Copies of this chain bind each other. A is one copy, B any other.
Amino acid sequence: MDTRQKIVDAAITVLNEDFSAPLDRIAEKTDLSRRTLHRYFPDRTELIEACRQDMMQTWQTAILQACNSTQDPLIQLERMLYAGIDCGVRYIFLHKLLSQPDVNKPTGVPQNASYEAARDNWFQLVPELQRRGLISEQVNVTWIRLLFTQMVSVTIQAYQSGNIAQNDIKKLAWYSFRRSIGME
């Protein structure tokens, strides 16, 4: 498997739990030496940048696929949740990273364009569902977005805990999520 990707994967996992974790921690997780890690990523910031790119790419692809797979916004929402879960820690870390603007490179360049597009998809979806009366108008869009993100997080933790049947865990997540936002 691609070494570079292996490093990014490990970095995403480690940094998601502890953003200031030393690079040794990441190298250790990949079973590579720190020296090798530095061969792929000259310094810490470049590694983080690579993570950001990777996360955005993965998420964008997943969300577009979810949107294009059907016209029904309800099913779109469901598949977006599954997409988030499939992206796993990537999804979590991405949103954590983007919500801490101080971490981002201070370049005014909006490299996020395609991500923004994906995000817009999301934001349009909820009001659409509200118009159709499927989600209560009472529930704030911000609130729903937070619930969504955290539901992905919960699901990942549940996977890791091993205390829950892996088969129906996604369905369970969808059940809890849609009810939490007032559906059905």
Where the two chains meet, the residues of A that have a C-beta atom closer than 8 Å to any C-beta of B are: 17-22, 100, 139-140, 142-143, 146-147, 150-151, 153-154, 157-158, 161, 163-164, 172, 175-177, 179-182
Closest B residue by C-beta to A103:
B18
Question: Closest CB of chain B to A160's CB: distance in Å?
Answer: 10
In Å, the complex CA distance between A154 and B139 comes to 14
One complex includes copies of this chain to the number of: 2
> Which residue in B20, B163, B172 is a CB contact (below 8 Å) of A19?
B20
In Å, the complex CA distance between A161 and B20 comes to 24
Overall SS of chain A's interface: helix
A142 touches B164 (CB 8 A): yes
In Å, the complex CA distance between A179 and B143 comes to 15
Closest B residue by C-beta to A148:
B154
Residues of chain B within 8 A of A181, CB atoms compared: 176
A164 touches B150 (CB 8 A): no
A147 touches B176 (CB 8 A): yes
B142 touches A158 (CB 8 A): yes
Residues of chain B within 8 A of A180, CB atoms compared: 176-177, 179-180
Question: What 13 additional pairs, Cβ within 8 angstroms, besides A142-B158, A176-B181?
Answer: A18-B20, A20-B20, A20-B22, A140-B164, A140-B172, A142-B163, A142-B164, A143-B154, A143-B176, A146-B161, A147-B176, A150-B154, A179-B182
